[in-house]
Each structure stands twice: as C-alpha cells, then as structure tokens.
Amino acid sequence: MPTGYTYDIKEGISFEDFVLNCAKSFCFKMRDLPLDTQLPEKFEPSDYHKKEYKEYEQLLNFWVNSSKERINEEVKKIYNRDVKKYKEVIKERNELRIKYENMLKLVNNWIPPSAAHIVLKNFMIYQITDSIKIDCTKKYLYKPELQTGEEYKQMKIKMIKDDIEYHKKEYEKEVKEINGSNLFLKQLRGSL
C-alpha cells in the first residue's frame, strides 16, 4: 500500500520531485502541512515572537518610567476591573449551580422505565454532580486585593521581563530552526 510520499511514484514522479516531497518532513514549518504544499525556495521566520517581545518592551517602558501617581491610578483601574470580573464569575457560577441543581432534582425524581434505564439515570446524576464540582467551585478563584502601586509595579515588571525573555528565546529558536531548514534545502538542491 503506497504512503503519501510513495503514491506518486506509480504516476511517474521524477526523482527530484520525490526527494523534495520527502524533504518536507525534515523542514521546520512543513512537517504538518499537506503533502501537496509546495516547498519554498527559502523559509522566513514568523514575526509573531519578535512583535510580542517588542510590545512587551514598550509595556515595560510604561511601568518603569511612569510617575507614582500614574501607577497608582493604573493599579486602581486594574483592581476595579478585576473586582467587577470576580463578581461576574461568582454570579455566573451561582446561576449555573442553580440550573444544575434543578436538573439534578428532575433526574432524581425520574423513575426509569426499565432496569436498563437505571444506568442512564446514574450516568446523568454523575454528569451533573461532577459538573457542579468543577464548574461551580469558588475554591480556585482569586479574590482581588488592592496592592500599593509600588508592589504592583514590581510584580508587573517581573512578569513583563519574563515575557520578553520567553518571546526572545522563542524567536531565536525559530530563527535557528529556519536557518537549519534553509541550509538543509540549499544542500539538498545542490545535490540534485
């Protein structure tokens, strides 16, 4: 049985095209694409991580260079937003719990028409009770606390620096992979 790579041999694919098709599985960014995707002359790195770390650098600049008053104002705005979101989540979970419990009452009161339907009833009970445990818990909710501007600023600066470092490393890693794929293709094409 032919594979995706060998299927075209019976149709008379050239050696060069066969090699280039097989080479796709060795090239970064081509591995998960359909086999009929053309192999480019040269790969270019995505600018996603580069854009991200540039944006984080601008954000870092804001947090490092803003006045104490501006930071305090921003922290209060963030706190108010987080409190509002926290209250919305609590309300949504409480409303969902009521809906689950109402359905659970209906299921518990249902009398299955046969022994085979008892398994269905037990399954429905399990689904609802499990969903209540997961979807309605407040155990892992973070209740916002108002921090001082300086506390928040230091935490935010550390987070931003971590994000910058992450995106720089990811961009460098991608550039290295792209350069390796480009060298691989150049050498491959030279050998054909």
pLDDT in tens, the chain (192 residues): 677 778 888 888 889 888 888 887 777 667 677 777 777 888 889 999 999 999 999 999 999 999 999 999 999 999 999 999 999 999 999 999 999 999 999 999 999 999 989 999 999 999 999 999 999 998 889 899 999 999 999 999 999 999 999 999 999 999 999 999 899 888 988 898
Residue 59's nearest CA partner among 136, 172, 167, 131 is: 167
User: In the chain, what are the domain boundaries?
Assistant: 47-180
Please state the φ and ψ torsions of residue 82, each to the nearest 5 degrees: -65, -40
- Please say whether the beta carbons of 2 and 10 come within 8 A: yes
pTM score? 0.66
Maximum CA extent, the chain = 76
- Please say whether the beta carbons of 23 and 39 come within 8 A: yes
Both tokens of residue 142?
């973070």
Between the two ends of the chain, the Cα-to-Cα distance in Å is: 27
pLDDT in tens, 22-47: 887 777 667 677 777 777 888 889 99
Please state the φ and ψ torsions of residue 133, each to the nearest 5 degrees: -60, -40
Strand (E) or helix (H) holding 56: helix 48-65
Distance from C-alpha of 117 to C-alpha of 185, rounded to nearest angstrom: 62
Both tokens of residue 184?
């691989």
CA 11, chain centre distance (Å)? 41
